[in-house]
Amino acid sequence: MGRCCCPHQVLTYIGQVTTGMPRASLVHPMPSRNVSLRLRDLQEKDSGSYLCFVNLQDNQGTVKGQSSKHLELDVLVPPAPPSCHLRGVAHVGANVTLSCQSPRSKPTAQYQWVRSPPSSQVFFAPVLGEGTSRDN
């Protein structure tokens, strides 16, 4: 999946006015020296490079100084529940395929097959009694 080369404005605080995308907010009330950004309902598409710009402006809005810091956000996506199927007929001597797929994860999921021991099955012979007779 490609990323846009153009910066996308996430949140701005200028002249005591905060503007930005609906899922973004500042952690601390302004004015504050801590401009930590909170992103709600994080999505995979939120992954990317984020830049925090700190500008010093005079009363006319002219930038007198600027500093910035880069931060990389990589949103992890848990694997979707796997879809598993048995292909073939499970008879002695036959071949079968056990298929398992998980359509998405980030990073790429690792797969492992594990065989559980067979459960103990106890079979009982039919009980002779009502409805059964030895004299047939």
pLDDT digits (tens, 9 = 90+) for 89-123: 999 999 999 999 998 899 988 889 998 887 777 76
Q: If you average pLDDT over residues 120-129, what whole number do you get?
A: 70
CA atoms of 85 and 83, how far apart (whole Å): 7
DSSP letter string, 23-47: TEEESSPSS-S---EEE-S--GGG-
pTM: 0.61
pLDDT digits (tens, 9 = 90+) for 48-94: 999 998 888 788 778 788 888 999 999 999 999 999 999 999 999 99
Q: What's the pLDDT score for residue 3?
A: 47
CA atoms of 106 and 77, how far apart (whole Å): 5
Does residue 126 have a cis peptide bond before it, meaning omega lies within 30 degrees of 0?
Answer: no
Residue 126 pLDDT greater than 80, yes or no: no
Q: What's the pLDDT score for residue 134?
A: 55
